[in-house]
């Protein structure tokens, strides 16, 4: 019995070896085409470890040209500095690791390594900031560490906080669910930005308007989809307080400047968006998500709005780098 099992095993091993040999006989173009139908982050990179023949196919321009967005050359034509890479694979990696500045450093363009989908960040200069040109309300600061852009907007003192950004959906990858994130920091002398008892939290709204008359075909009733969420910019007791937002009873401590150190309770908001640190030293908070149709919508626009307009408290110390729009994946 054991001998029969050994014979079957040897036959299977020989068959596998013969099949592998047949694969290696395929022309490089066929192997490259097969690899190009996989994913850039996993299958394509792993294929290069199979054999020298597979490595040549997996690294070829024919494969990585399919992973790059079809309109990447048109987008890179707007780059502030020329982007030179020796191969399509190098270009893909460059755009994943180091987004390119476009349109006078008002926007950055990169790729998500996992899917190859396009990512954009609107710089603070590309956003509409209420009173952003008034130096008594906002100032523009240059050269902050970790910022993609040469300058960022720093809040001096306002009671009405409203920031809006817009992007054409035609720039994004079809058939992809995106999320918008406010990328920011908070200065040491900040005030009025914490989650606070008795005050409504800031609100973020992400709105997609399609059928708005692009291409000379006016539409009387554009299609509108919109989502809205409460936002927390700063936890009063540090990052460990994030979980408290979603408990049945939420405990918050009053600021010391109020002369009290008393614990109060309020109902938690299970849908509130909380901040998290980024790898570049900044923080981000998700403002909302939206989907780009598989067929694309040339005349559609996504508008991202972050606001706290019903509060009477004055605020200081919010440093805005921009709004990033990138693919969102389920955890």
Give 90-136 pLDDT, tens digit per residue. Answer: 999 999 999 999 999 999 999 999 889 999 999 999 999 999 999 99
Q: At 170, is the pLDDT very low, low, confident or very high (cuts 50, 70, 90)? A: very high
Q: At 143, is the pLDDT very low, low, confident or very high (cuts 50, 70, 90)? A: confident
Burial (CB < 10 A; 0-12, 13-18, 19+), residue 275, is buried
Q: At 194, is the pLDDT very low, low, confident or very high (cuts 50, 70, 90)? A: confident
Q: What is the DSSP string of 124-184?
A: GGGSEETTTT-TTTEEEEE--TT-SSSEEEEE-SBS-EEEEEEEEGGGSPTTEEEEEEEEE
Q: How many CB atoms lie within 10 A of CB 234?
A: 20
Question: Tell me, what's the pLDDT at 200?
Answer: 78
Q: The pTM is what?
A: 0.78
The DSSP bridge partners found for residue 120 are 109, 325
Q: Please tell me the distance from the alpha carbon of residue 123 to that of residue 79, in angstroms, as a whole number.
A: 14
Q: pLDDT above 90 covers what percent of the chain? A: 53
Indicate if the pLDDT at residue 215 is higher than 70: no
Indicate if the pLDDT at residue 290 is higher than 50: yes
Question: Tell me, what's the pLDDT at 126?
Answer: 98
Q: Please tell me the distance from the alpha carbon of residue 327 to that of residue 112, in angstroms, as a whole number.
A: 7
Question: Tell me, what's the pLDDT at 61?
Answer: 72
Q: How many CB atoms lie within 10 A of CB 210?
A: 18
Q: Which long-range contacts (CB under 8 A, 24 or more apart) does 96-100 make?
A: 99/148, 100/76
Q: Please tell me the distance from the alpha carbon of residue 235 to that of residue 221, in angstroms, as a whole number.
A: 41
């Amino acid at each position: 019995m054991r001998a029969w099992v050994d014979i079957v095993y040897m036959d299977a091993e020989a068959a596998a070896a013969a099949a592998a040999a047949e694969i290696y006989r395929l022309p490089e173009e066929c192997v490259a085409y097969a690899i190009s139908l996989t994913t850039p982050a996993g299958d394509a990179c792993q294929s290069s470890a199979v054999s020298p023949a597979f490595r040549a196919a997996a690294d070829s321009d024919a494969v990585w040209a399919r992973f790059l967005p079809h309109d990447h050359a048109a987008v890179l034509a707007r780059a502030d500095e020329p982007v030179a890479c020796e191969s399509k694979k190098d270009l893909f990696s460059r755009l994943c690791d180091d987004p390119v500045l476009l349109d006078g450093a008002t926007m950055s363009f990169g790729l998500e390594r996992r899917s190859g989908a396009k990512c954009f960040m609107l710089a603070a200069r590309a956003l509409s900031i209420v009173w952003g040109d008034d130096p008594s309300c906002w100032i523009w600061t240059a050269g902050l560490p970790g910022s993609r852009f040469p300058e960022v907007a720093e809040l001096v003192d306002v009671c009405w906080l409203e920031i809006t950004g817009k992007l054409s959906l035609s720039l994004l990858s079809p058939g992809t669910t995106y999320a918008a994130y406010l990328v920011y920091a908070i200065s040491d002398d900040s005030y009025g930005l914490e989650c606070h008892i008795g005050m409504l939290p800031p609100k973020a709204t992400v709105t997609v308007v399609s059928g708005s008359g692009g291409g000379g075909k006016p539409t009387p009733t554009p299609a509108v989809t919109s989502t809205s969420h409460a936002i927390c910019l700063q936890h009063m007791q540090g990052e460990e307080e994030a979980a408290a937002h979603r408990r049945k009873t939420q405990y918050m401590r009053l600021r010391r400047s109020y002369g009290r150190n008393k614990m109060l309770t309020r109902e938690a908001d299970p849908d509130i968006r909380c901040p998290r640190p980024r790898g570049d030293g900044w923080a981000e908070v998700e403002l909302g998500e939206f989907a780009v149709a598989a067929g694309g919508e040339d005349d559609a626009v996504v508008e991202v709005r972050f606001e706290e307009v019903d509060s009477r408290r004055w605020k200081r110390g919010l440093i805005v780098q921009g709004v990033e729009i990138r693919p969102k994946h389920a955890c």
